[in-house]
Structure 1
Amino acid sequence: MNTTFLFIGAPEIMVILLIVVMVFGADKIPEIARGLGKGIRQVKDATNEIKRDINESAKSQGLDTDFTKDIKKSISDVKDNIDDLTGPIKRNR
């Protein structure tokens, strides 16, 4: 089994980590990771706030925002039907 992340395999990730340690030093890695974590959290919070604002605005205008649930349910139904048709057939990647 080959583990890949964004088309990068495990050996490439190890080389990247080695270069990061050599450039920044082992003592700076936790500080960098903490900063990245805070940045990702801020982006996620901003995204959630924008979504909430859009939903509140749509509801105040009387727009139906539940149509995405209907789409997800339809997709799930189609997937279940396909799974029922294929039965025990396994797909190899």
Structure 2
Amino acid sequence: MSLYMLPLAIGPWQIALIVIIVLLLFGGKKIPELMRGLGSGIKEFKDASKEEEIEKNDKKE
């Protein structure tokens, strides 16, 4: 593994530490709301990118 890949190598201990920090920062009740917001944002992004692709295909024809 090269030195450039080391920051990307995340193991189970690092993931557990990140989860603990997120729980401490936001609390258990706030996390589902944050995930719902994140999910809806990703869904809107996908829908917008599909619409953009359709518009590009319509202009080609």
Q: Which of residues 27, 39, 45 in structure 1 aligns to 2:47?
A: 45
Please, which runs of 5 or more residues in structure 2 have no aligned partner? Answer: 1-7
User: CA offset at residue 39 of structure 1?
Assistant: 0.5
Task: Rate the CA distance shift 1:48–1:7 in 2: closer, same or farther, 3 A.
Answer: farther
What's the C-alpha RMSD, in Å, of the aligned pairs?
A: 1.1
More strand by share: 1
- The superposition leaves residues 35-86 of structure 1 with CA deviations (integer Å, 9 ceiling, x where unpaired) of 0000100111111110111011112xxxxxxxxxxxxxxxxxxxxxxxxxxx
Please, which runs of 5 or more residues in structure 1 have no aligned partner? Answer: 1-5, 60-93
User: CA offset at residue 13 of structure 1?
Assistant: 1.2
Return the structure number with greater relative CO, CA threshold 8 A, min gap 6.
Answer: 2
Number of positions where the alignment pairs a residue of Structure 1 with one of Structure 2:
54
- Which ranges of 4 or more aligned residues in structure 1 deviate by more than 3 Å? none
Identity of aligned residues (%): 44
More helix by share: 2
Name the larger-Rg structure.
Answer: 1
**Structure 1-normalised TM-score?**
0.54
User: CA offset at residue 7 of structure 1?
Assistant: 3.0
